[in-house]
Structure 1
Amino acid sequence: MLIRPATDSDLALLPEIEVAAGEAFRALGMDAVADDAPPTVEELAAYQVDGRAWVAVDAADRPVGYALALEVDGGAHLEQVTVHPAAAGHRIGSALIDEVDRWAAGHGLAWLTLTTFVDVPWNAPYYDRLGFRAMAAETLPAGLRSIREHERAHGLDAWPRVTMRRAVGGTG
């Protein structure tokens, strides 16, 4: 498996990864999450042209996972980390996160942050194993508070969510 920056030709393939990965939420009664529209190619392009989109590719150079990052509050915010279920279980997600970590280090950013579901096994418990720790809601800086407000407005707080962070260069 190789992690590399996303290219223009990768972008059209990423929504299908998101849709496939979203299906796992149905087993938890989270159909609204599974039914949420994936990012559009145009939305993905905004990350890609800024060098904030990475893909994990198979031997045929076809994306099987991807990560998107933002710079928020002096840190790198993992906006999305998604792996196709057919490629799960091979540490692709952690490899994508490590790539974002290297990007963050190269940009002088101190933290990796993310928001995620508390009770979904491949969400908060997974990130905890990778060295991320929950942040108290009252301690969130302005940028992360804005992200959480946006998530609430889109109904994601129907299930418990948490903001997590780890130091750049940290591992799990």
Structure 2
Amino acid sequence: MSYRFAVPDEAEVVRAIEYEAAQRFATVGLTGIADARPMNVDFVRRKIEASEIIVAVNDTGNCVAFVMFARLAKRFYIEELDVLTTWSGRRIGARLIDEVAALARRAGVPQLVLSTFRDVPWNAPYYRRLGFSVIESERLDAKLRAIRAAHVARGLDETKRVFMYRDVTAADATG
């Protein structure tokens, strides 16, 4: 498996990975996520042009996963992490997180943050295993509260979600 920034002609591939990975949410009663349309292709292209999507590419050259992120002042916010279900369980998601952590470390950014479902096994429990900790709601800064408000506007039930953080360490510089 290799990891690199997505290239412009992979926008539709990223959207297909997102859609396929979202189907898993139907198994835990979150059919709204499974039924949702993939991200807007123009948005994905802008994220690719900004070097804010890293893909995992298998030995036949096919993208099997991606992580999308954005810089928020002194944090990198992981917006989405998706792995094709046939490739899950191989630590690809963990490696993609490590790639973002390495970028953050090189940029002098001390922390990764994300928002995820509290009780979905491949969400908050998974991120805990990767070293993330919960940010209590009263400790959310203005940027994270704005992200939460945007989630609510999109129809996400924020009572079932949690923000989490992981400090970037010197070990993350090796990526």
TM-score by length of 2: 0.93
Alignment gaps of 5+ in structure 2? none
Letter in 2 for 1:40: N
Deviation at 1:137? 0.8
* Distance in 2 (alpha carbons) for counterparts of 1:29 and 1:16: 21
Match of 1:49 in 2: 49
Matched, 1:81 2:81: yes
Are 2:34 and 1:34 aligned? yes
Relative to 1, partners in 2 of residues 1:148 and 1:73: Cα closer, same or farther, differing over 3 Å?
farther
Structure 1 residues 18-167: aligned runs within 5 Å: 18-157=18-157, 160-167=160-167
Distance, in Å, in 2 between the alignment partners of 1:62 and 1:8 is 15
**Counterparts of 1:167 and 1:60, CA distance in 2:** 34
Give the C-alpha shift of residue 41 in structure 1: 2.2
- 8 Å CA contact 1:72–1:144 kept in 2: the answer is no
Contact conserved, 1:25 with 1:34, CA < 8 A, in 2?
Answer: yes
Structure 1, gaps ≥5 residues long = none
- How many angstroms does 1:42 deviate by? 1.1
SS at match of 1:156: coil
* Equivalenced residues, count: 171
1:35 offset after TM fit, Å? 1.0
Work out the percentage of aligned pairs sharing the same amino acid: 36
Q: Secondary structure at the match of 2:122?
A: coil
Quote how far apart the aligned CAs of 1:73 are.
Answer: 4.0
The one-letter code sitting in structure 2 at the alignment partner of 1:129 is R
Q: Which amino acid aligns with 1:88?
A: S
Aligned residues of 2:148 and 2:158 also touching (Cα < 8 A) = no
Map Cα deviations across residues 68-123 of structure 1 (whole Å, 9 max, x no partner). 11111410000111001011111000010000101111211111000000010000
Cα shift at 1:61: 1.3
* Contact 2:56–2:65 (CA under 8 A) maintained in structure 1: yes
After TM superposition, what 4+ stretches of structure 1 lie above 6 angstroms from structure 2? none
Paired residue secondary structure (2:101): helix
Amino acid at match of 1:115: S
Q: CA deviation at 1:20?
A: 0.8
Q: Is the 8 A contact 2:115 2:162 kept in 1?
A: yes
Q: How far apart in 2 are the matches of 1:92 and 1:159?
A: 28
Partner letter of residue 151 of structure 2? Answer: E
Q: Kindly report the root-mean-square deviation, in angstroms, between the aligned alpha carbons of the 2 structures.
A: 1.4
Quote how far apart the aligned CAs of 1:136 are: 0.7
| Distance (Å, rounded) in 1 between the aligned partners of 2:159 and 2:122 | 14
